[in-house]
Amino acid sequence: MDKVNLLNEKVRHHLDTIYQGIFPSDKLDDIALELLKRMRISHEHDILIPQVHTNLWNEKDVVLITYGDSIIEPSADLSQGMHKPPLQTLYTFLDKYCAHAVNHVHILPFFPYSSDDGFSVIDYSSVNQALGSWDDVTRIANEFGLMVDLVINHCSARSLWFDNFIKQESPGKDFFFTIDKDTDTSLVTRPRTSDLLRKTSTTDGTKYVWCTFSHDQVDFDFRNPEVLLAFVDIIRLYLDKGTRIFRLDAIAFLWKEFGTNCINLPQTHEVVRTMRTLIEHASPNSIIITETNIPNRENLTYLGNANEAHAIYNFSLPPLLLNTLITGDCGYLKSWLMSMPPAQNGTFYFNFIASHDGIGLRPVEGLLSDEEIANLADCMQKFGGKVSWRTGLLGQQKPYELNIALIDALQGDMHGPDEFQIQRFLCAHAIMLGLEGLPGIYIHSLLGTTNDYEKASNTGQSRSINRHRWHFDSLSRELDDAYSLHHQVLTQMTQLISIRTAQSAFHPNATQFTLHLGTKIFGYWRQSIDRTQSIFCLSNISKEPQTIKLCDINLIGTDEWVDLLTQTPLHSQMQNITLAPYKSAWITNRFHKG
């Protein structure tokens, strides 16, 4: 059987699983052919064969997460408006300050939008004119690996598709999920407290449109294959514009079925597999990451058997690491790490501890008690943060996420602020950068940006507290001032990253074992895939000095050892080492300075 027929058969199998008898066989045949045609892989020479269980990444890969307008500057050309296209300013910033530290950039939704800072997309095919143009996007893509959001669960209520839905015209007439207003939705898992249904007047009468997140974000109905086809067109466009990594936003909520919780349904997983099949046969080096802010066990299922997402967001890490550093006890973090299965070749964990969203709390359900989650939320509020809420199954209000800049979240411990803010902040990143997986670093963590109370007040949105917009001139002054908090953070963060990217033991799929060094020292061991380098990653997560017996980590006496972070030589005859509060050590037998 030739490549075209083999691929067509595989896609046809995906469609059988998704639509499960909704359509006759000949209809599914037509859909399969159309999907391949729209991805431009309908001929033998178009099809590229992906390598199964191949790692398309290594220790040098680091992703910077940023909005297109996180940094702005005045325009010298008045024809461009008051400000230079921010995507051009972003490129200048990346080139000047980040080129030696990161090699991928996640530009958060840069499309025309109506709310949610970009995640309520009006038009998927164009760049928001206030940010720049496709040329600006592709320029960044040519210098850095580009990560783009596929906002696939919903779009803006101001989109052409929804306007056509109201007028009952195509395309869009049957694109959105509607139900009878009296349908029992009590089992539905909600990330928000707003009403699930939006009452909408159309030329075909009143419709009740499903809105998982807000009434400006109307959910698609993937029971209609025309919606799947439309998103394949979008994927093809993004590939053409240089996208290497696709972030499937809010994918867990994609498929709805009455009488279920409407999250993580089998059809949702099959849609991800379908997209994986199409993307990897059109562009074998492209990667899919699923964004599923859900309990850890459910999140892991999106890796499938290396046939679904290439990577999943490691959503349990941010709240567990934060809890560790403010309680001075790594017990929960250690237990979780031991429970995590190694990512098989061809998959990886996407590690992060801060992002444009808050620190989600659902991923620690079952890992921390309700009381511990409440204590964590209370501490963050005392540090100037905010808490977003969701409605539980019994109608109760439960904390959903913490909204606070990471450097402010780490200004102290449960007893209040102290003098260890920067040390604690750097300790958190030293832990994250060494872990199995590929790191993503939010621009405001790289810069040490603090809470933006003014923006949160102006927008009325809690998440805005961690979405500051810098002016390039003032940012440059801060970064060039050796005494500035932002200079200190950027300098030390980029040093950490440069050391990390030079170590083969930090390959995203290198071996990892958790060390048992008590509750005050969090430690794990990494070994390179070729077994030539070992690194013992040790962090004092308390505000008191901690001594570690070197016999407890069993350094091999025939090797020479050095702490990569201080360049201090160690030897097996030494009895112990002492780590100052919130200090880390990366002890290796193969020295690469970075």
One DSSP character per residue, 98-142 reads: ITTT-SEEEE---S-BSSGGGTSBS-TTS--TTT--HHHHHHHHH
Does one domain contain both 489 and 401? Answer: yes
pLDDT at residue 574 above 80? no
Q: Rounded CA gap, 492 and 483, in Å?
A: 13
The two tokens of residue 577 are 């080492």
Q: Rounded CA gap, 478 and 447, in Å?
A: 10
pLDDT of the residue at 400: 87
Does one domain contain both 291 and 382? Answer: yes
**Residue ranges of the alpha helices (H) in 39-96?**
86-93
Does one domain contain both 203 and 95? Answer: no
pLDDT band at 393 (very low <50, low <70, confident <90, very high): low
Over residues 310-352, the pLDDT tens digits come to 999 999 999 999 999 999 999 999 999 999 999 999 999 999 9
Does one domain contain both 136 and 183? Answer: no
295: cis peptide before it, omega within 30°? no
Determine, yes or no, domain membership for 36: no
- The dihedrals phi and psi of 282, each to the nearest 5 degrees, come to -95, -30
Residue with tokens 């005392």: 382
Does one domain contain both 257 and 204? Answer: no
Q: Rounded CA gap, 20 and 15, in Å?
A: 8
The answer to whether the Cα torsion of 16, 17, 19, 22 is positive or negative is positive
Determine, yes or no, domain membership for 165: yes
Which H or E run contains 267?
A: helix 266-282
Which H or E run contains 282?
A: helix 266-282
Does one domain contain both 100 and 132? Answer: yes
CB 47 within 8 A of CB 3: yes
Does one domain contain both 276 and 377? Answer: yes
Q: Could you give the residue numbers annotated as active site?
A: 249
Determine, yes or no, domain membership for 434: yes
- The dihedrals phi and psi of 558, each to the nearest 5 degrees, come to -80, -10
Q: How many helices (H) and strands (E) does the chain have?
A: 17, 27
Instruction: Give the mean pLDDT of 18-24.
Output: 93
Does one domain contain both 215 and 116? Answer: no
Q: Rounded CA gap, 72 and 468, in Å?
A: 11
Q: What is the dihedral of CA 317, 343, 248, 404, to 10 degrees?
A: 10
Q: Residues comprising the binding site?
A: 116, 154, 247-249, 356-357, 463
Does one domain contain both 353 and 391? Answer: yes
Instruction: Give the mean pLDDT of 536-560.
Output: 88
Determine, yes or no, domain membership for 427: yes
User: How many Cβ atoms from other residues are within 10 Å of residue 331's Cβ?
Assistant: 13
Q: Last residue of some domain: 219, 244, 260?
A: 219
pLDDT at residue 594 above 80? no
pLDDT band at 442 (very low <50, low <70, confident <90, very high): very high
Over residues 118-170, the pLDDT tens digits come to 999 999 999 999 999 999 999 999 999 999 999 999 999 999 999 999 999 99
CATH (domain of 466):
3.20.20.80
pLDDT band at 36 (very low <50, low <70, confident <90, very high): very high
Determine, yes or no, domain membership for 39: no
Determine, yes or no, domain membership for 101: yes
Q: Residues comprising the binding site for substrate?
A: 116, 154, 247-249, 356-357, 463
Boundaries of domain holding 238 = 63-150+233-319+346-506
**Max alpha carbon distance in the chain (Å)?**
82
Task: Please give the DSSP secondary-structure letter assigned to residue 97.
Answer: I
Q: Rounded CA gap, 20 and 22, in Å?
A: 6
Instruction: Give the mean pLDDT of 473-486.
Output: 97
Does one domain contain both 256 and 296? Answer: yes
Instruction: Give the mean pLDDT of 295-314.
Output: 95
pLDDT of the residue at 328: 98
Does one domain contain both 405 and 474? Answer: yes
Does one domain contain both 130 and 255? Answer: yes
Determine, yes or no, domain membership for 226: no
| Average pLDDT over all residues of the chain | 94
Give the count of domains, the chain: 2
3-state secondary structure of 361: coil
Q: Last residue of some domain: 506, 534, 556?
A: 506
CATH (domain of 167):
3.90.400.10
pLDDT band at 286 (very low <50, low <70, confident <90, very high): very high
pLDDT at residue 211 above 60? yes
Q: Rounded CA gap, 247 and 231, in Å?
A: 13
